[in-house]
Amino acid sequence: EARTAIVTGAGNGLGKSYAKALAAAGANVVVNDINEQTAGLTVDEIVADGGHAIACCRDITDHEQAGQIVQAAIDTYADLNIVVNNAGICRDRMFTSLSPDDWDAVVSVHLKGHYCLASHAARLWRAQAKEGQAVSGRIINTSSGAGLLGSIGQSNYSAAKGAILSLTLVQAAELQRYDVTANA
């Protein structure tokens, strides 16, 4: 209760489920999705169920726009406590058929998107800690077994998901001093 969460890819699928579960538990939710219509529908469902949510459809792969998502949480709910990096796409191809554009798109949404949003949140929490404020931040990154074992036809996805696991380990080690946890 009384915590604010950003959930990426929350217009449908797992992201929508995460957003609705957080709202049902009493959190304020910033619903992020590239599709404004589905983000709006998630917000409408949360509000209809008595929760608090807004949509912010900025691009998580753009560092400046990711900062605007964090700012929307602060402007609307006065704080940010939780980042759920869930957004993702697939461009499945066998490695010999994989184009550079398909590689870049998947790595950008999965890995860069996780970095951009968490970067702004972590800087906020570090600043709060340095000002003497109590911080209880949470970063939840979405990975996959494909990141550990690979997956045929998904070299781009597998590489990004493996990198997210490594990113999470570093975030956990570096951010614990600010009372921020990172999990995948």
Q: Give pLDDT tens digits for 89-112.
A: 999 999 999 999 999 999 999 999
User: CB of 60 within 8 A of CB of 119?
Assistant: no
- Report the chain's terminal Cα–Cα distance, integer Å: 22
Q: Which two tokens stand for residue 169?
A: 């380990």
Arithmetic mean of pLDDT, 66-73 = 98
So what's the pLDDT on residue 91?
Answer: 95
User: Which residues contact residue 23 at a Cβ distance below 8 angstroms, ignoring those fewer than 6 apart?
Assistant: 29, 46, 49, 51, 52, 53
Share of the chain above pLDDT 90, in %: 99
Arithmetic mean of pLDDT, 60-83 = 98
Instruction: Find, among 46, 50, 42, the residue nearest to 15 by Cα.
Output: 42
So what's the pLDDT on residue 126?
Answer: 98
For residues 55 and 38, what is the distance between their CA atoms, to the nearest angstrom?
10
Q: Which two tokens stand for residue 19?
A: 């957003």
E-strand stretches of 9-105 = 28-32, 52-55, 82-85
Instruction: Find, among 148, 162, 153, 160, the residue nearest to 108 by Cα.
Output: 160
DSSP 8-state secondary structure symbol assigned to residue 34: S
User: CB of 173 within 8 A of CB of 161?
Assistant: no
Active site residues: 144, 157, 161
So what's the pLDDT on residue 135?
Answer: 96
Q: Give pLDDT tens digits for 139-165.
A: 999 999 999 999 999 999 999 999 999
Q: Which two tokens stand for residue 159?
A: 């590489």
User: CB of 161 within 8 A of CB of 147?
Assistant: yes
Instruction: Find, among 104, 143, 126, the residue nearest to 177 by Cα.
Output: 126
Q: Give pLDDT tens digits for 19-38.
A: 999 999 999 999 999 999 99
Give the confidence band of 72 by pLDDT, cuts at 50, 70, 90. Answer: very high
Arithmetic mean of pLDDT, 46-74 = 98
Give the confidence band of 53 by pLDDT, cuts at 50, 70, 90. Answer: very high
